[in-house]
């Protein structure tokens, strides 16, 4: 979901600028990596950083590392002994993100997994303060169900792309499993009496969920 370009410029001009390593990561992702739109980017990244700094998590779980931008932003709010666990299915991105974790000075605070999150999540024996879901959309509900019992009471789950280019309010095309996945996830969360939630119209939509 894109806002008016003038409004976008105004928002950018009234947001703390990207850190040097994040701006470099942003540029290199756009130059070298497929589907650079998957990168969180400046505004969303700052939002994630702010949320993390407010929560001050000891343990974060991220599903969908991509090139590491969001992990770096989320790590900014970690407690002194905090760790972010991040899962990426594409092994070709591992060294790219590791390089930027090092440039950001957080390599010692990142536990990186390469593989299928549905298989990896059950193996992580941790309780999380904050979870960020930003992976394949058809499995959002599966990820939610897998992580729920690993989130502490009062902890938060954030899910990216919850508006999915506005497709959530249009008739779903036959075979569009990604849109179906987002809609099923959004509807399940809305009717889950174990949580309270708000859907932010930030970028492509972020669903924020607090476990009661």
pTM of the model: 0.95
**What CATH number is given to the structural domain containing 173?**
3.40.50.150
Reported as a single tens digit per residue, the pLDDT across 89-137 is 999 999 999 999 999 999 999 999 999 999 999 999 999 999 999 999 9
Q: Shortest CA distance to 109 belongs to which of 55, 62, 44, 157?
A: 62
Cα–Cα distance, 209 to 131 (Å, whole number): 10
Average pLDDT over residues 190-194: 98
Q: Is residue 208 within 8 Å of residue 189, measured between CB atoms?
A: no
Token pair of 154 as six digits: 């009062």
Q: Could you give the number of structural domains in the chain?
A: 1
For residue 92, the enclosing domain spans 5-211
Q: Alpha helix (H) ranges present in 69-172?
A: 69-75, 94-103, 117-120, 140-148
Reported as a single tens digit per residue, the pLDDT across 9-57 is 999 999 999 999 999 999 999 999 988 888 899 999 999 999 999 999 9
């Amino acid at each position: 979901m894109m806002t008016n370009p003038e409004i976008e410029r105004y928002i950018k001009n009234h947001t703390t600028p990207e850190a040097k390593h994040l701006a470099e990561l942003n540029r290199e992702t756009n130059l070298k990596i497929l589907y650079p739109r998957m990168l969180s980017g400046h505004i969303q990244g700052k939002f994630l950083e702010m949320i993390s700094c407010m929560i001050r998590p000891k343990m974060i779980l991220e599903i969908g590392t991509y090139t590491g931008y969001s992990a770096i932003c989320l790590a900014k709010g970690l407690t002194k002994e905090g760790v972010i666990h991040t899962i990426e299915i594409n092994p070709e991105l591992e060294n790219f993100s590791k390089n930027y974790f090092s440039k950001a000075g957080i390599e010692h605070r990142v536990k990186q997994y390469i593989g299928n999150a549905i298989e990896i999540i059950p193996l992580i024996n941790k309780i999380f303060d904050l979870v960020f879901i930003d992976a394949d959309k058809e499995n959002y509900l599966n990820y939610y169900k897998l992580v729920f019992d690993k989130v502490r009471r009062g902890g938060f789950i954030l899910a990216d792309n919850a508006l999915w280019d506005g497709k959530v309010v249009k008739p779903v095309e036959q075979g569009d499993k990604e849109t179906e996945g987002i809609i099923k996830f959004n509807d399940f969360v809305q009717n889950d009496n174990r949580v309270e939630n708000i859907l932010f119209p930030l970028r492509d939509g972020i669903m924020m969920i607090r476990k009661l």
